Amino acid sequence: MNSSSTGLSPSDYIGIESELGAHNYKPLDVILARGEGVWVWDTDGNKYLDCLSAYSAINQGHCHPGIRQALIGQAANLTLTSRAFRNDQLALFYEDICALTGSHKVLPMNSGSEAVESALKAARKWGYEVKGVPAGQAEIIVCENNFHGRTLAIVGFSTDPVARTNFGPFTPGFRVIPFGDAEALETAMTPNTVAFLVEPIQGEAGVIIPPAGYLSAVREICTAHNVTLILDEIQTGLGRTGKLLAEEHDGIEADVTLLGKALSGGFYPVSAVLSNTEVLGVLGPGEHGSTFGGNPLACAVARAALRVLVEEGMIENAAAMGAYFQDALASINSDIVAEVRGRGLLIAIELVDEAGDARHYCEALQKRGVLCKETHLKTIRFAPPLIITKDQIDWVMEQIRPVLAA
């Protein structure tokens, strides 16, 4: 039976995508047509528990009714003015996000990559105009195995050959150091360093958690050198790790925090650069912008996405269910599991070399109604919506155990 309203079969969809689309993804062959909470359904009506959450953009669950209401309501009023005019939603979004995160200034953008690019631009300008770095000399430090998006400047400082090969020449001014190594940061600092850009936990690299004390050491080093600490919390932020921001686990505050993904609960691309210092203050009229950034639809959606995250206790649930899920995974008795690691509901299983590709296990889990995605060859990431319940985790575990025992 085919429950899709389009009348196309799964192989039709795959064939059309293959013929007409750029092949820059290798998705699981499941064609989703509906989502609600932690669940999604394919065009044949099969039901799956989503353990990826669109790379953590769906922290609030699929089609959250509160966010949907905000989207529909605002769509009937006003969707886009551009920033040539003001709209009656932007100020309210600024107030909400600043109150929640303790930030002082906000730059609204759309995609995560744009937030990263925007922060790098602002940090450079701050370096020249406030720190006093000589013209054209600004340096920004980043980490090995980083993932900050796909635009040219960003892939230029990626260390993943797949992300960067044949996309050069690249933007100069970046220096790469090992992740989790505070001494390497101290050594890399020069008088021209304007910023250190880092993920609190490296998500795409495979949920890599730095050693205890790393982020607080990083905070101290950046302060000592008058360097802007930019934390990319596009994946780790908004409750994913069991705190609103992952920086809270280490009791630090970044100078600039980047949010995206779950900032809209998956309804709409919304990202933001949040600043504690005067970094964003250096941007004047005409020096940066985005036609869609800060549009009233985005602002209304983001406000609702933030509200339900807090009001419905999703952050606390992520902490409790994350611990429960990690304990359950760690108790699996399997020769092919090398390690289970995670924080909150950002979790990875690392397979041993002899296990074969992680993709194979994701496909086996798909057959059992669990959707997850490998990251690199040997890592399976589990990042379900933050509303997941104990019973649902128990059910997921019933699917995972036989797959990893096989």
Q: Does the N-terminal peptide bond of residue 169 adopt cis geometry, omega within 30 degrees of 0?
A: yes
Question: Which residue's CB is nearer to ligand PLP, number 24 or number 333?
Answer: 24
Among 38, 51, 52, 55, binds ligand PLP (CB under 6 A): 55
Among 127, 149, 173, 266, binds ligand PLP (CB under 6 A): 149
Q: What share of the chain is helix, strand, coil (3-state, %, to 5)?
A: 40, 20, 40
What is the DSSP track for 107-126? EEESSHHHHHHHHHHHHHHH
Q: SS3 for 89?
A: coil
Amino acid sitting at position 183? E
Region binding ligand PLP by CB under 6 A among candidate stretches 78-86, 142-150, 279-287, 343-351: 142-150
Q: Is 260 in the site for ligand PLP (CB under 6 A)?
A: yes
Assess whether 232 carries a catalytic annotation: yes
CA nearest to 214, candidates 234, 196, 191: 196
Amino acid sitting at position 392? Q
Region binding ligand PLP by CB under 6 A among candidate stretches 8-16, 134-142, 144-152, 324-332: 144-152
What is the DSSP track for 201-226? SBTTTTSBPPPTTHHHHHHHHHHHTT
Assess whether 147 carries a catalytic annotation: yes
Q: How far is the CB of 284 from ligand PLP (least distance, A)?
A: 25
Residue nearest ligand PLP by beta-carbon distance: 112
**Whole-number Cα distances in Å, 220 to 30, 217, 290:** 47, 5, 34
CA nearest to 121, candidates 277, 237, 287: 287
Q: Rounded to an integer, what distance in angstroms lies between the CA atom of residue 38 and that of residue 25?
A: 23
Among 158, 193, 235, 366, binds ligand PLP (CB under 6 A): 235
Residue among 96, 105, 147, 243 flagged as catalytic:
147
Question: Which residue's CB is nearer to ligand PLP, number 230 or number 370?
Answer: 230
Among 232, 247, 250, 374, binds ligand PLP (CB under 6 A): 232
Question: Which residue's CB is nearer to ligand PLP, number 61 or number 203?
Answer: 203
Q: Is 200 in the site for ligand PLP (CB under 6 A)?
A: no
Q: How far is the CB of 198 from ligand PLP (least distance, A)?
A: 10
Among 35, 61, 108, 112, binds ligand PLP (CB under 6 A): 112
Angle between the 65-77 and 296-311 helix axes, to the nearest 10 degrees?
160
For ligand PLP, the binding residues (CB under 6 A) are 55, 111-113, 116, 147-149, 199, 203-204, 232, 234-235, 260-261
Catalytic residue ranges: 147, 232, 261
